[in-house]
Structure 1
Amino acid sequence: MTTHMLTADDAAFKALFPLKPFRIRHNLAGDPRLTLPAILELVKALPRDRIEYNSGKAAVSQDPDSTPLVDLDPEDVITQIETAGAWMVLKKVEHHPTYKALLEEALLSVAAAQGFESVKAAKFTDIQGFMFVSSPNSTTPFHLDSEDNFFVQIHGDKQFAIYDNTDRSIASEDQIEHAITKHRNLKFDDAFAPRGTVNELRPGEGVFVPYIWPHWVKTKDAYSISLAITWKTPEVKRRNDLYVANSMLRDRGFPQKAPGVSPGFDKVKIAAVQTLTLLAAPLRKSEGLRKVIRSIVLGKNANYYYRDKAKPKQVGM
């Protein structure tokens, strides 16, 4: 890659992309769209179901049901980020035109470096952005994601540890299904450590994270701003649809075989999910209906990020 927005060693990119992680560089660290004042305005503009936050004092192997919370509103997290002890992610920022343009420009630079004329030609579809704002010394627990990701560090320093899951000994197919459809967190075992690579990231640096490769992240002594520039290829979208179908059927008492064991039935399930997705698309414009759809498809805990903030106990008046 030789273009200006996202760059990497050409040999590493050709040898590793999109199946293995590698380090990247970028010129986004000074971008005014990625500063705290701009992010505060983004928080004000986003619907509540696209904002998730909790305490940064989580464990690497954090049980999502006992994740510590913070007694702050989303805007307060941003304005007090240096002392809030908080971790926040702003989801699907591509719905804001300013950030949609940023994401597309970044991925177009990668596509052009590969000889493609457009992001679509490079199979960068379903482009999404996730903005992370974290207090000093915060932890993002061990988890995996349902997309490919160019993760770029904007402010502060981070440790970003990525673990090889190609043989499924770190996360089984059942665990992957649960992470994609229920909650992203995975249990971390110290035996995984030799298979991980810890990347020290400073502003202007980043890393490519392949689809469903587990990772944990820790900030250092300054607050952190990071951006995940993500996409799904058609193959990844079909795989995710299959996980959703299997999860829905399993929740209703119908055991399912792992992806690839019954290719013909897999195709039927994928087609059904794709049809339902198209039918539900107009409804997803409403935050309330999105909440209902998530509950129906992914289960009763699908809207976990709506849980009430931790409130201090009231002392008698």
Structure 2
Amino acid sequence: MTDIISASQDDLARRFPREPFATRHGLAGHPLFTLEALARLAQKLPRDRVEYNAGDLEPGVRPEDIRMLDMAPEDVVRRLESCNAWMVLKRVEVEPAYRALLEEALAGVARRLGHDSPAAAGFHDIQGFVFVASANATTPFHFDPEENFFVQIHGPKSFHIFDNRDGSILPDEELEMSPARHRTIPYDPKMEERAEVFRMGPGDGLFVPHLWPHWVRTGDGHSVSMAITWKSPRAERLNTLLYANGLLRRFGWAQAKPGTHPAWDATKIALYRLLRATIEPLRRTETMRRLLRGLVFGRQANYYYGKKA
């Protein structure tokens, strides 16, 4: 069996899951990632699983300056060559064909790590995010709450990633999570001297560690990429704490850095998980997800439904 994702055994042994490293993959040219297939996927997904805007942005663009597009999602994909757009299709694993592909990709990595399944390797909550963008489009500076193997399927792309383990790129407060906050985070061009830049084309990939900030730009041609994501037990616990801290800060209670008060951290994690378990059954429809986000976090939590330009 040929693995979808290939990485050197040395990188898997020395760098995974702490540092980024280049990989290769076998998804270039796959029929699930043609523009027509992705247009159909964009049309099928719930609207809060599709986010798109103009692509001609700077890495540090302010959220309020991001221009929206007054087009249906499927039309954005079909007109990608001319409409200057950036789009992400979220949680594509709800479609069985994409789910099977994600699981097969991570099963191969798990075997390379000495495990007989993704679950045994600690790959929990497997999700897929497909990115489609016009030429010279930018994904502004942000971080992801998952670990992922990023795969470039069509077109050129440059991926600028930053080591923030010492907290010098982003302070702890910026890592706190909340649906009330836009995904973009403050960026200073002076940071760029610390970026590790991966130049990618079809067949190239990259392991992206949990919470490492980055920004991405396409080249002279439209781009299709996918993030094959999961959450390790450590990432799940830290994410829960960061969400709890973000919620408390929203209501005026600033929180200390994770790990400063372990007992209080554990209490917040338990309470947030209880709250999430209580409301999760209500989040099964797009209408209820939108309503709950607005009630708990305010109107800005539904920013991708905002006014179009």
Contact 2:178–2:246 under 8 Å retained in 1: no
Q: CA deviation at 1:67?
A: 0.6
1:237-288 CA-partner distances (Å, limit 9, x unpaired): 1111111111212222222222111110111110111112222222111111
Uncovered stretches (5+) of structure 2, i.e. residues with no partner:
none
What is the distance in 2 between the residues matched to 1:18 and 1:284?
Answer: 31
What is the distance in 2 between the residues matched to 1:24 and 1:295?
Answer: 40
Q: Residue 296 and residue 179 in structure 1: after superposition, are their counterparts in 2 closer, same or farther (change >3 A)?
A: closer
Contact 1:28–1:204 under 8 Å retained in 2: yes
What is the distance in 2 between the residues matched to 1:83 and 1:153?
Answer: 21
1:45-80 CA-partner distances (Å, limit 9, x unpaired): 100000000000111101112112223221111110
The equivalent of 2:207 in structure 1 is: 208
1:121-167 CA-partner distances (Å, limit 9, x unpaired): 10000111100000011111111111111100000000111111111
Contact 1:8–1:25 under 8 Å retained in 2: yes
- For the residue of structure 2 that corresponds to 1:303, the secondary structure is helix
Of 273-282 and 108-117, deviating more is: 273-282
The equivalent of 1:187 in structure 2 is: 186
Q: What are the residue-to-residue correspondences of 1:134-173 with 2, within 5 Å?
A: 134-173=133-172
The equivalent of 1:313 in structure 2 is: none
Of 85-94 and 238-247, deviating more is: 238-247
What is the distance in 2 between the residues matched to 1:296 and 1:244?
Answer: 16
CA RMSD of aligned residues (A): 1.5
The equivalent of 2:25 in structure 1 is: 26
What is the distance in 1 between the residues matched to 2:159 and 2:228?
Answer: 15
Q: CA deviation at 1:116?
A: 0.6
Contact 1:180–1:240 under 8 Å retained in 2: no
**1:71 paired to 2:108:** no
Q: Residue 84 and residue 184 in structure 1: after superposition, are their counterparts in 2 closer, same or farther (change >3 A)?
A: same
**1:253 paired to 2:242:** no
The equivalent of 1:291 in structure 2 is: 290
The equivalent of 2:38 in structure 1 is: 39
What is the distance in 2 between the residues matched to 1:240 and 1:181?
Answer: 16
The equivalent of 2:9 in structure 1 is: 10
The equivalent of 2:125 in structure 1 is: 126
Contact 2:178–2:243 under 8 Å retained in 1: no
The equivalent of 2:50 in structure 1 is: 51
Structure 1 moving runs of 4+ over 6 Å: none
Q: Residue 190 and residue 177 in structure 1: after superposition, are their counterparts in 2 closer, same or farther (change >3 A)?
A: same
- Paired amino acid for 1:4: D
The equivalent of 1:91 in structure 2 is: 90
Q: CA deviation at 1:3?
A: 5.0
Of 70-79 and 214-223, deviating more is: 70-79
The equivalent of 1:112 in structure 2 is: 111
- Paired amino acid for 2:302: N
What is the distance in 2 between the residues matched to 1:191 and 1:166?
Answer: 18
What is the distance in 2 between the residues matched to 1:61 and 1:186?
Answer: 7
- For the residue of structure 1 that corresponds to 2:64, the secondary structure is helix
Of 184-193 and 99-108, deviating more is: 184-193
The equivalent of 1:275 in structure 2 is: 274
Q: CA deviation at 1:18?
A: 0.3
What is the distance in 2 between the residues matched to 1:276 and 1:112?
Answer: 36
In the superposition, the TM-score normalised over structure 1's length comes to 0.94
Contact 1:181–1:243 under 8 Å retained in 2: no
Q: CA deviation at 1:185?
A: 1.1
Q: CA deviation at 1:192?
A: 1.3
What is the distance in 1 between the residues matched to 2:19 and 2:2?
Answer: 21
What is the distance in 2 between the residues matched to 1:73 and 1:39?
Answer: 13
- Paired amino acid for 1:204: G
Length, aligned pairs only: 309
The equivalent of 2:306 in structure 1 is: 307
Of 290-299 and 193-202, deviating more is: 290-299
- Paired amino acid for 2:215: W
